[in-house]
Amino acid sequence: MQETGSPPLSRRDALIVAAAGATVPAAATAQGGGQERADGPAPARARVSLEVNGRRRELEVDTRTTLLDALREHLHLTGSKKGCDHGQCGACTVMVGGRRIYSCLTLAVMHEGDAVTTIEGLGQPGNLHPMQAAFVKHDGYQCGYCTPGQICSATAVLEEIRAGIPSHATADLTAAPQVTAEEIRERMSGNICRCGAYSNIVDAMAEVAGTSVAGRPA
């Protein structure tokens, strides 16, 4: 499949164009066509091939396109959310090569050939991933906006603990880390939930890990 659509003009670009007093139509400036801004080069495009949720996708994108925008705007996988767009909230969390990252803080063109797993690839209605089912069971959300990122992150966190990756909450650096409430809280600190579903998220994760956390039977 080939995608050649350009992302729509962003608000920031529109403001910049307006501030510069440009008289050309904003869309023409933002989408290139050989025009050069006074303060830098024209937009550049590049081809990139990703394997998203097991399926090969060929894209041609503006080099500025983040992985998040490629997923949402080009591939229409809108499960990954844009919260802050600055790596502070975690709503955009996806897995690349099995590791969780912020898709807003990486460029699509930096992921040639990479395997990307989004919430859509983790499970589907009627075929939920165990972490998705546990979030439903434990009410691990309220508005749901941060949930795709929380679930991708939570799934990867349990893998990280299994792989023996230490965290700030790990008491003994030379011992294997355990699934505890402290470990879960520390490792999930890169995902914010403004509805405050945190304690239920901890319960959901503990259930999937097959453990109970202090004072809370799974």
> From the CB of 141, what's the least distance to other proteins, in Å?
19
Q: Which is nearer to other proteins, 86 or 125 (CB)?
A: 86
DSSP letter (8 states) at residue 213:
B
Q: Which is nearer to other proteins, 136 or 165 (CB)?
A: 165
- Specify the amino acid at residue 147: T
Q: Which of 63, 33, 30, 34 is nearest to 46 (CA)?
A: 63
d(CA 188, CA 199): 12
- Contacts with other proteins, residue ranges (CB under 8 A): 12, 32, 37, 39-44, 46, 62-64, 66, 85-87, 90, 93, 99-102, 105-107, 109-110, 112, 153, 156-157, 160, 163-168, 170, 173-174, 185-190
> From the CB of 127, what's the least distance to other proteins, in Å?
26
> From the CB of 95, what's the least distance to other proteins, in Å?
9
Share of the chain residues as helix, strand and coil, in percent rounded to the nearest 5: 35, 15, 50
> From the CB of 98, what's the least distance to other proteins, in Å?
10
d(CA 147, CA 55): 23
d(CA 41, CA 37): 6
Q: Which is nearer to other proteins, 137 or 194 (CB)?
A: 194
